[in-house]
Amino acid sequence: MTLQSEKKRMAYFLSQYPAISHTFFLKEILGLRQLGFEIEVASVNPPDRTVSELPPVEAQEAASTYCLKRTTIWEAICVVVTTIFVYPAVFIRGARVALTMGGWDLIRKIYAFFYTVEAFLLGRWMKKRSLRHLHVHFGGSVATVAMVAAEIWKFDYSLTIHGPEEFYEVDYCYLPRKIERAKFIFCISDFCQSQLMKYCDPAHWDKMHVVRLGVDVGEFKPASHESDLPPQIVCVGRLVPAKGQHILLPRIIASHQPGPR
């Protein structure tokens, strides 16, 4: 994407915003705004803390973020009914998409129904805000809602894929379909990109770009190390299998073991 004199307007659709474990969402959005992008945010879930517990910058973000799960059932019904009469083609496309998802699996069909309702809400919000591009992190259910919304409301969407969950549940996540319909895809690593390349035609490979989740080296500059003191290593991450904490320490120890040169 290239910057022009006018601002680039787009929406971000996230699973939860703000959240302690999603600070990279905040950094990315603030960074894009500094570059001249106008970013508006929608989130499936409300913040993981009360407003009083949020730092000022996150409290400000929370106040301006559209939260799908704060929509009442009557508001959702109103949006769907309004869509039927004001945007009949959108409703028909939504019904068609919902019927084609999930195959013969009843549970997946039920989820497809709820994804479609959320897609109506998300698309209607974007329509009101005159937003024509949607970016989403992760390839699971939040990306499914984004994909459905893009299909039925006819706007562009793009992805940042992290893995590894999407690579274990390829069909359940509709991963090939998401790849084919995305305008572009950011992959956080070469491995991530290689996994996506497995599930689509080579014609879609050019839309994949490796964009690593780095850190501000000025903010996290390591202290000088005294040779007579053991090094201190800090790992920041949730204690879940996907983060690989179980294998981190053995690998560090192994890398410092003397061996043949």
- pLDDT for 83 equals 95
- pLDDT for 3 equals 40
Which residues, 6 or more positions from 115, have their beta carbon under 8 angstroms from its beta carbon? Answer: 98, 101, 141, 144, 145, 148
- pLDDT for 219 equals 77
**Structural domain that includes position 84:** 8-210
The encoded tokens of residue 161 equal 């894929």
Residue 204 covered by a domain: yes
- pLDDT for 217 equals 77
| Model confidence at 246: pLDDT above 70 | yes
Residue 231 covered by a domain: no
Q: How many residues does the chain have?
A: 261
CA 183/CA 206 separation, integer angstroms: 10
- pLDDT for 122 equals 97
Q: Measured over all CA atoms, what is the biggest interatomic distance in the chain, rounded to whole angstroms?
A: 75
CB 55 within 8 A of CB 26: no
Residue 84 covered by a domain: yes
> How many degrees, rounded to 5, is the angle at CA 6 between CA 3 and CA 12?
70
Residue 258 covered by a domain: no
Per-residue model confidence as pLDDT tens digits over 64-87? 999 999 999 999 999 999 999 999
The four Cα atoms 41, 153, 117, 49 give a dihedral, to 10 degrees, of 0
Per-residue model confidence as pLDDT tens digits over 19-30? 998 889 999 999
Residue 3 covered by a domain: no
* Distance linking the first and last C-alpha atoms of the chain: 45
Q: How many domains is the chain built from?
A: 1
- pLDDT for 4 equals 45
The encoded tokens of residue 250 equal 């053995």
The encoded tokens of residue 103 equal 């195959």
pTM score > 0.75 for this model?
Answer: yes
ω into residue 164 within 30 of 0, thus cis? yes
CATH code for the domain of 166: 3.40.50.2000
Per-residue model confidence as pLDDT tens digits over 185-235? 999 999 999 999 999 999 999 999 999 987 777 777 766 766 677 777 778
Q: Name which of 32-41, 118-127, 247-256 the model is least confident about.
A: 247-256
CB 126 within 8 A of CB 156: no
Residue 145 covered by a domain: yes
| Range among 98-102, 152-156, 241-245, 256-260 rated most confident | 152-156
Per-residue model confidence as pLDDT tens digits over 116-143? 999 999 999 999 999 999 999 999 999 9
The encoded tokens of residue 108 equal 């997946």
